[in-house]
Chains A and B, each alone.
Chain A
Amino acid sequence: MATIEVDQLSKSFRGLVAVDHVSFAVNEGEIFGFLGPNGAGKTTTVRMLCTLTRPSAGTARVAGWDIIREPNQVRKAIGIIFQEPSLDDRLTARENLRFHAMIYKVPKEEAKIRIARALEWMELSSRGDDLVRNFSGGMKRRLEIARALLHTPQVLFLDEPTLGLDPQTRNRIWERLLALRAENRMTLFLTTHYMDEAEYCDRIAIIDYGRIIALGTPTELKARLQGDQVVLMTADNLRAAAEIRRRYGVEPALDRENLRFQVADGAQFVPRLVRELGVPILSVMVRPPTLDDVFLALTGREIRDEEASEREKLKSRLQRMGRVWR
């Protein structure tokens, strides 16, 4: 039996369909990823699976329990790292962890050991008794991750867990998650925008407008794009794009500096391109497809870099609070 079984799960908010009849299953010990652009319905799905939001239709079972009829059993089995902040910043790091251990009924002595270990793991030992409000964003995130693991959940939900963390920290966190999976058969359900993080997943569902539009292992998904990605920089990208469209019948994607498109055999194509293109080429590169390319091919859009919009959200949040304090 699968650890997470999702059956026609849907959620709408006053007419807006956030999650649209989604079905999938996640096996024990699997790392399952949700990949999708802003507003795709990732967080809403996680919130439903975690019993925080009631589905409008459909249901799901987590660790064998029904999320609607047996929410408390589900809660016992899961841990979650929320996308949005969830610490009490007027408390110290250690207090945040201690309170977590309390409501999850970790015995006191055991909790002490785990808290010390968690702080050490996240390199927060020296700041354990500082108020969380004085922490940097990355430190808060590390604390949240350590907290979610404190009660050794059977199923861990991670909603963009490593957003805003530096690469070393992300690596260390992933090492630990992989180790926990190996030790305890912990099941991981994560949402992410980072392609390299998506590569850790055993399977990935690509979600857009509340629907799963593709599901498979990263290798399978990439194999769907038969051929190679050509990344090209020219003296005039717009003109080059028009010419490529006309001459080879492919639609290049344009970003700030590059043109990108797919061809069946990159090695054979490049010499031809260099010979035929009327616009001076500054650089050309051929590489195998990434999940980014898969996403682009499926949706016609790129997964937008999330950090800018996160910053926007934070800003509006702070403004809201400012109003309250004034």
Chain B
Amino acid sequence: MIDSACIHMVWRRDVLRYFREKSQLYGSLTRPVLWLFILGLGLRGGYREVGTVNYTQFIFPGIIAMTSIFTSIQSAISIIWDREFGFLKEILVAPVPRTSIVIGKGLAGTTLSLIQGCIILLLAPLVRVKLALVNILPLILVMAVMSFALTGIGIVIAARMTSFQGFGTIMNFIIMPLWFLSGALYPLEGLPWWLALLVRINPLTYGVDMIRRLVLGFSFYSPGFNLAFLTGFSILTTMAAVYFFNRGEY
């Protein structure tokens, strides 16, 4: 099941390509910056404060989560490109377990997502968020678990999708809803019941909440509950990814 050479190769290839494509790197950084500053500053006026933080500060954890969502799902979806351009055959015909390919992809998505997430973390001083040094490591861990889980979702999508035409569809029907319904942009109290329900069944909610705890010092759920949920979610999506990737015909 675990073939370290294969995991290493799959991971290394994605990371190498990421650093080679500078435009992708810059492109994926402008989005969070725009959201943070334009949306954050624009909506600040109409916002009732939660505790002592202003709106820009409030959405800061959400922006970190957004970076994770986009980066990890996008990274996993590169499987579709590999299939389209033919490279996937080269990996699939090699004597390596499919599970290791999935793990390699998952680790690659996680790595890239962490790199992007950490760059966003560097913006903390600009929105006057003070990060406690002791929280940095746990924060990275939470981001990693969340990203790994999301890469799993991306792999399931890639294994199920036969053409690339659906990328817009994925954006509209999976990535955006996941993020909008995660409580990244609004507090989790006083929501209409149906919205509260959707937010509550969205696993990302607990990731965002946990990040909020580590960045801003408060959260809506207890850290233990958040972590348990996030870990479970991660295990579940990884299993789904392995299952669907194994089943797919290429």
Residue numbers of A with Cβ under 8 A of B are: 50-54, 72-73, 75-76, 78, 80, 82, 84-91, 95, 99-100, 102-105, 320-321, 323-324
The DSSP consensus for interface residues of chain B is helix
Q: Is the CB of B17 within 8 A of A103?
A: no
State which residues 71-108 of B face A: CB under 8 Å: 82, 84-87, 89-97
Residues of chain B lying within 8 A (CB to CB) of residue A53 = 249
User: Is B93 within 8 A of A91, CB to CB?
Assistant: no
Q: State whether B97 touches A72 (Cβ < 8 A).
A: yes
Q: List 15 A-B contacts (CB under 8 A).
A: A52-B89, A52-B93, A54-B249, A75-B93, A75-B94, A84-B89, A86-B86, A87-B86, A87-B90, A88-B87, A102-B8, A103-B5, A103-B94, A321-B84, A324-B167
Query: B92–A52 contact, CB under 8 A?
Result: yes
Contact B90 A86 (CB under 8 A): yes
Q: Which of A88, A104, A320 contacts B94 (CB 8 A)?
A: A104
Distance A57 CA – B249 CA, assembled complex (angstroms): 16
CB distance from B161 to the nearest CB of A (A): 12
- By a CB distance below 8 angstroms, the chain B residues around A76 are 95
Docked CA distance A54–B247 (Å): 11
- Inter-chain contact A95/B16, CB cutoff 8 Å: yes
The answer to whether A90 and B17 touch (CB under 8 A), given A100-B90, A103-B94, is yes
How many pairs of residues, A versus B, come closer than 8 Å at their CB atoms?
Answer: 72
Kindly state the separation between the CA atoms of A82 and B89 in the bound complex, as whole angstroms: 9
Check B86–A51 contact: CB distance below 8 A. no
Q: Are A90 and B21 also in contact (CB < 8 A) when A53-B249, A54-B249 are?
A: yes
Residues from chain A with Cβ under 8 Å of B89 in the complex: 52, 82, 84, 86
Q: Return A93 CB to nearest CB of chain B, in Å.
A: 14
Which residue of A82, A87, A324 has the most chain B CB atoms within 10 A of its CB atom?
Answer: A324
B176 at the interface (CB under 8 A from A): no
Chain A residue at smallest Cβ distance from B164: A324
Note all chain B residues with C-beta closer than 8 A to A51: 93
Question: Do residues A84 and B86 form an inter-chain contact, with CB atoms below 8 A?
Answer: yes
Beta-carbon contact of B250 and A52 below 8 Å: yes
Is there a chain A Cβ closer than 8 Å to B31's Cβ? Answer: no
With A88-B13, A103-B96 known, 17 other A-B pairs at CB within 8 A are A50-B93, A51-B93, A52-B93, A53-B249, A80-B93, A85-B86, A87-B87, A88-B82, A88-B90, A90-B17, A95-B16, A100-B90, A100-B94, A102-B8, A321-B84, A323-B165, A324-B165
Cβ of B9 under 8 Å from chain A? yes
Tell yes or no: B242 within 8 A of A by CB.
Answer: no
Contact B16 A91 (CB under 8 A): yes
Any chain A CB within 8 A of the CB of B20?
Answer: yes
Give 4 closest A-B pairs by Cβ, nearest first: A75-B95, A76-B95, A86-B86, A102-B9
Q: Which residues from chain B contact A320 at a C-beta distance below 8 Å?
A: 84
- Most chain A beta-carbon neighbours within 10 Å: one of B9, B92, B249: B9
Instruction: Name the residue of chain B whose CB is nearest to the CB of A321.
Output: B84
Closest residue of chain A to B89 (Cβ to Cβ) is A86
Contacts of A82 in B (CB 8 A): 86, 89-90
- Contacting residues, chain A, for B211 (C-beta < 8 A): none
* Distance, CA A99 to CA B15, complexed state (A): 13
With a cutoff of 8 Å between Cβ atoms, the chain A residues found around residue B249 in the complex are 53-54
CA–CA, A24 and B5, complex, Å: 36
Bitwise, B1-26 to A at CB < 8 A (1) or not (0) is 00001101100110011001100000
**A79: nearest residue on chain B (CB-CB)?**
B93
Given A75-B93, A76-B95, also A102-B5 (CB < 8 A): yes
Query: Cα distance A51–B6 when bound, in Å?
Result: 18
- Shortest CB-to-CB span from B169 to chain A, Å, is 13
B20 near A90: Cβ-Cβ < 8 Å: yes
The interface residues of chain B lying within 8 Å CB-to-CB of A90 are: 17, 20-21
Query: In B91-143, which residues have CB < 8 Å from any A CB?
Result: 91-97
Write the chain A residue with the least CB distance to B94: A103
**Chain B residues in 8 Å Cβ range of A80:** 93
Most buried by A among B17, B20, B94: B94
Write out, one digit per residue, whether chain B residues 224-250 have a CB within 8 A of any chain A CB (1) or not (0): 000000000000000000000000011
Give Cα A84 to B82, complex, Å.
13
A224 to chain B, nearest CB (A): 36
B9 contact set on A, CB distance < 8 A = 99, 102-103
Question: In the complex the two chains form, what is the Cα distance from A95 to B94 in whole Å?
Answer: 16
Alpha-carbon distance between A99 and B112 when the two chains are bound, in angstroms: 20
A100 to B165, CA, bound (A): 30
A135 to chain B, nearest CB (A): 14
B157-179 interface (Cβ within 8 A of A):
164-165, 167
Given A105-B5, A323-B165, are A99 and B93 also a contact pair (CB < 8 Å)? no
A164 to chain B, nearest CB (A): 15
> B6 → chain A, closest Cβ, in Å?
5
